[in-house]
Amino acid sequence: MAARSQVLSLYKQILRESEKFPSYNIKTYALRRTKDAFRANKSVKDAQTISSFMKKGNEDLNLIKRQVSSLLMYVSTEWLLFSRPI
């Protein structure tokens, strides 16, 4: 069974990684969804459920890492159409 410290460490890693999303909407969603999911399940005691959540959490962490690194490659600060002020 995953110890409390492992759960908290995963939680912090996901939040830290989500902070890197270049899109404001995606970033706020990822942070909010992570906090809500961990909070909703904070009183889960069943060892099997916890380990399945931990597995899912680790998969999600890897997904966020992959997406953050690829999305960062295409960050554009300028709109193609409105490069001049309107």
Partner 1 sequence: MDVQATTPLDPRVNDAMMPYHVNFYGNPHSRTHAYGWEAESAVENARQQVASLIGADPREIIFTSGATESNNISVKGVARFYKSRKKHVITTQTEHKCVLDSCRALEAEGFDVTYLPVKTNGMIDMEQLEAAMRPDTSLVSVMAINNEIGVRQPIEEIGELCRSRKVFFHTDAAQAVGKIPVDVNAMKIDLMSISGHKIYGPKGIGALYLRRRPRVRVEAIQSGGGQERGVRSGTVPAPLVVGLGAACEISQQEMEYDHRRISMLADRLINTVCNAIPHVIRNGDPHHTYPGCVNLSFAYVEGESLLMALKDIALSSGSACTSASLEPSYVLRAIGADEDLAHSSIRFGIGRFTTEEEIDFTAQKCISHVTRLREMSPLWEMIQEGIDLKNIKWSQH
Interface ranges with partner 1 (CB under 8 A): 21, 23-26, 28-30, 33, 36, 63-64, 66-67, 70-71, 86
Return the percent helix, strand and coil in the chain, to nearest 5. 65, 0, 35
Instruction: For partner 1, give the closer residue by CB, 5 or 79.
Output: 79
DSSP 74: T
Task: Look up tokens 């899109």; give the residue.
Answer: 23
Min. distance of Cβ 43 from partner 1 in angstroms?
Answer: 18
Nearer to partner 1, 45 or 82 (CB): 82
Helix 24-40 vs helix 4-18: crossing angle, to nearest 10 = 170
Q: Which is closer to partner 1, CB of 36 or CB of 46? A: 36
